[in-house]
Amino acid sequence: MLSAQDWSKLEKVGQSIKHQTIWALLRFTGCRSQEARLLMVDNVYSDPVNRVVNEQVYFPKKIRKGKKWAISVPITKKLKWYLERYDCPTSGYLFPSFRNPGKPISYEAVYKYMKDAASKAGLGHQKVSTHSGRRSLVTHLHKAGSSLETIRQITGHRSLQNLQAYIEVGKDQVAAAIDNVAL
């Protein structure tokens, strides 16, 4: 799990608004990297020329793991800020490949850029991956008191058991829980 400070460090060393926007999608929607990479412009923008962002990101079932159901995730103010800065294409993939604009950016490109940025930001010791946004969002929502059902609706997990595997509990939380119990 990455803290808000860790994400800030990654952003400071990030060279590309494209990659920062991908990270923001991972971080603020809890989507998988495949889902972010395969998004189409119209899944996010109502008017890409003027960078008018929809109220929700629509993840169609064909790009979701298992391909059984679609989900929509509200766009937060912070995610909207990234999306309004991103010079998106007018149609097609939201994040096209640099070499072949008719295809999406590759997983390898996103992963390599994130690992390089983590190293530059001094976060190489942490397990930073394309799944860090999903794990971080779930854990932060849980710490903030969001119900598991609310989190499940955001991430699209089919079962609460699968969702609970993402929740990281720190030693400070365990100590606080024990301190709050009157024996």
What CATH number should be reported for the domain whose range is 4-164? Answer: 1.10.443.10
What is the C-alpha to C-alpha distance for residues 140 and 150, in angstroms, rounded to an integer?
13
Chain segment 109-149, per-residue pLDDT in tens: 988 888 888 999 898 777 888 888 888 888 888 888 888 88
Counting every residue written for the chain, the total comes to 183
Please give the mean pLDDT across all residues of the chain. Answer: 87
Kindly provide the b/e burial profile for residues 110-144, where b requires at least 16 CB atoms within 10 angstroms of the residue's own CB: beebbeebbeebebeeeebebebbbbbbbbbbbee
**What confidence tens digit (pLDDT) does each residue in 2-42 have?**
888 888 888 888 768 898 899 899 999 999 899 999 999 99
Least confident of 21-25, 75-79, 100-104, 173-177: 173-177
pTM of the model: 0.81
pLDDT at position 88, please? 95
In this predicted structure, the answer to whether residue 166 has a pLDDT above a threshold of 90 is no
Report the DSSP beta bridge partners of residue 40.
93
- Residue ranges per domain, the chain? 4-164
Q: Is pLDDT above 80 for 171?
A: no
Q: Contacts for 162-167 with beta carbons within 8 Å, 24 or more apart?
A: 163/138, 166/134, 166/135, 166/138, 166/139, 167/138, 167/139, 167/142
Chain centre distance of CA 5: 16
